[in-house]
A and B are shown apart, each in its own frame.
Chain A
């Protein structure tokens, strides 16, 4: 593999890595949202039971 080929491959891999990193971050965000929805649903249920 020539030096130019290494750099070109690196450029494309960097883009792929950033997109994959974004997907991982977004997956964490989705799990946080899911947890918050569960907490709010639980809170709403407790309110309803107390009323």
Chain B
């Protein structure tokens, strides 16, 4: 990937997030029920959706690897899982902070959305244990790809759990009536923050992938020289 794309993504992330966070704090009105604390929504939900996007990207690259047997997709899938886990940690932390201010607790085991996201996060965290327990090569690449593909099944379950659960306490914003749940200013701010978060993930992914590729090539060079 050309380096100019990484620079453009980083600039877009900085600009969009700066604008989005400014709007979230100074422009959007307080939500009727949630009040000021609803502003966590503009960072928590984009981060969660970006984590899902990273895991989808990892699965797509895993599928390409299994389909074409081209080993370069292995590193791309691995990097996407790496990014997804970072955004997953942020989702859990920002969600916990919102839960503390809204429900008075840091965590609720009775809330399926939270527990399913935790399961998804732990599943992808275990990806690293699997990956580093096998010697590098095509076998490790195939095993990692199959694992990344299995994980993607959990994403729609996690996303839909909130809508399928009974006795909800986790708020639902994006349903069929999104227009009445979010005012125009709130939706615009959310979309800017989401675009910024995707750009941030893209920028981190590109830089991380470049670093991992250099690392791999240095290992090959070291072997050739030794």
- The answer to whether B21 and A29 have CB atoms under 8 Å apart is no
- The answer to whether B40 and A11 have CB atoms under 8 Å apart is yes
Out of B43, B218, B222, name the residue touching A12 (CB < 8 Å): B43
Give the docked Cα–Cα distance between A20 and B222 (Å): 31
- The answer to whether B89 and A18 have CB atoms under 8 Å apart is yes
- Residues 201 to 226 of chain B near chain A (Cβ within 8 Å): 204, 207-208, 211, 214-215, 218, 221-222, 225
Range class of the A interface residue count: 20 to 34
Range class of the B interface residue count: 20 to 34
- The answer to whether B222 and A33 have CB atoms under 8 Å apart is no
Out of A7, A19, A29, A40, name the residue touching B37 (CB < 8 Å): A7
- The answer to whether B211 and A40 have CB atoms under 8 Å apart is no
Q: Provided the pairs A40-B221, A47-B225 are in contact, do residues A12 and B21 lie with their beta carbons within 8 angstroms?
A: yes
- The answer to whether A29 and B35 have CB atoms under 8 Å apart is no
- Residues 1 to 51 of chain A near chain B (Cβ within 8 Å): 2-5, 7-8, 10-12, 14-15, 18-19, 22, 26, 29-30, 33, 36-37, 40, 43-44, 47
Query: Which residues of chain B have C-beta atoms less than 8 A from A44's C-beta?
Result: 225
Q: Provided the pairs A14-B94, A26-B211 are in contact, do residues A4 and B36 lie with their beta carbons within 8 angstroms?
A: yes
Query: Which residues of chain A have C-beta atoms less than 8 A from B187's C-beta?
Result: none
Contact surface of A with B, Cβ cutoff 8 Å = 2-5, 7-8, 10-12, 14-15, 18-19, 22, 26, 29-30, 33, 36-37, 40, 43-44, 47
Contact surface of B with A, Cβ cutoff 8 Å = 21, 35-37, 39-40, 43-44, 47, 86, 89-90, 93-94, 97-98, 100-101, 200, 204, 207-208, 211, 214-215, 218, 221-222, 225
- Given contacts A7-B101, A8-B101, 18 further A-B pairs with CB under 8 A are A2-B36, A4-B36, A7-B37, A7-B98, A7-B100, A10-B97, A11-B43, A11-B93, A11-B94, A12-B21, A14-B94, A15-B47, A26-B207, A26-B211, A29-B211, A33-B215, A33-B218, A40-B222
